Amino acid sequence: MARQLLPILDWAPKYRRSDLRGDLAAGLTVGAMLVPQAMAYALLAGLPPEIGLYAATIPVLVYAALGTSRQLAVGPVAIVSLLTASALAPLVEEGTAGYVAAAALLAIMVGVVHLVLGAARLGNLVNFLSHSVLVGFTAAAALIIGFSQVKHLLGISTERQDHFYQTVLDVADKASGANGPTVVLAGVALAALIGLKRWVPRVPAALAVVVASILAVQLFDLESRGVKVIGDIPDSLPAFGLPDFSGSLVGDLLATAAVITLVGFMESIAVAKVYARRHRYEVDANAELIGLGAANVAAGLFGGYPVTGGFSRTAVNESAGARTPLASVVTAAIVLATIALFTPLLSSLPNAALGAIIIVAVIGLVDIEEMRHIAAVKQTDLIGLGVAFWATLILGIEIGIAVAVVASMLVVFARISRPHSAVLGHVPGTTSYRNVARFPEARIQDGIRVVRIDAALSFVNAVNIKKLLLDHAAAVTEQPRALVLDASGINDIDATGVGMVAEVLTELEDRQVTLHLTDVKGPVRDVLRRAGIWQRLGDRIHASTHEAVAAIAERRRGPGDHRRFGIDEHDDTHRARPTPGTGQPPSGQRATATTDQVPLPAVEAT
Give the CATH number, domain containing residue 475: 3.30.750.24
346 with 225, same domain: the answer is yes
404 with 434, same domain: the answer is no
| pLDDT above 60 for 359 | yes
Band (575; pLDDT cuts 50, 70, 90): very low
329 with 444, same domain: the answer is no
Contact 308/80 with Cβ under 8 angstroms?
A: yes
**For residue 346, which of 237, 186, 211, 189 has the smallest C-alpha distance?**
211
158 with 241, same domain: the answer is yes
Q: What is the pLDDT of residue 312?
A: 78
For 294-320, what is the mean pLDDT?
Answer: 91
Helix residue ranges, H only, 340-380? 351-363, 368-377
Q: Examine residue 562 and state whether it is found in any structural domain, yes or no.
A: no
pLDDT in tens, 559-574: 877 877 778 887 655 4
Q: Examine residue 560 and state whether it is found in any structural domain, yes or no.
A: no
Phi, psi of 600 (to 5 degrees): -85, 145
Q: What is the pLDDT of residue 584?
A: 42
| pLDDT above 50 for 586 | no
Helix residue ranges, H only, 70-229? 78-88, 97-119, 131-148, 150-154, 164-174, 180-199, 205-219
pLDDT in tens, 540-554: 999 999 999 999 998
Contact 539/559 with Cβ under 8 angstroms?
A: yes
d(CA 561, CA 177): 88
Number of domains the chain is built from: 2
- Range of 426's domain? 421-553
Q: Which helix (H) or strand (E) holds 421?
A: strand 421-426
Contact 74/292 with Cβ under 8 angstroms?
A: yes
pLDDT in tens, 49-86: 999 999 999 999 999 999 999 999 999 998 899 899 98
214 with 113, same domain: the answer is yes
CB atoms within 10 A of CB 169: 13
- For 571, counting Cβ atoms within 10 Å of its Cβ (0-12 exposed, 13-18 middle, 19+ buried), the class is exposed
What integer best gives the mean pLDDT of the chain?
87
| Upper half-sphere CA count for residue 508 (Cβ side, 13 Å) | 31
Torsion of CA 470, 476, 479, 485, to 10 degrees: -60
Sequence length of the chain is 606
401 with 458, same domain: the answer is no
The crossing angle, in degrees rounded to 10, of helices 495-510 and 462-474 is 20
Q: Examine residue 290 and state whether it is found in any structural domain, yes or no.
A: yes
> Measuring CA to CA, how many Å separate 200 from each of 195, 208, 346?
7, 12, 24
pLDDT in tens, 275-297: 888 888 888 889 999 999 999 99
257 with 355, same domain: the answer is yes
Contacts of 495 (CB under 8 A, 6+ apart): none
Percent of the chain with pLDDT over 90: 54
Q: Which helix (H) or strand (E) holds 540?
A: none
Q: Examine residue 101 and state whether it is found in any structural domain, yes or no.
A: yes
Q: Examine residue 152 and state whether it is found in any structural domain, yes or no.
A: yes
334 with 466, same domain: the answer is no
Q: Which of 205-209, 406-410, 601-605 has the lowest mean pLDDT?
A: 601-605
pLDDT in tens, 380-401: 888 888 988 999 899 887 788 7
Last residue of a domain, one of 553, 568, 590: 553
Say how far residue 518 (Cα) sits from the centre of its chain: 36
Band (530; pLDDT cuts 50, 70, 90): very high
433 with 301, same domain: the answer is no
Cis peptide before 350 (omega within 30 of 0): no
d(CA 40, CA 47): 10
Q: What is the pLDDT of residue 104?
A: 97
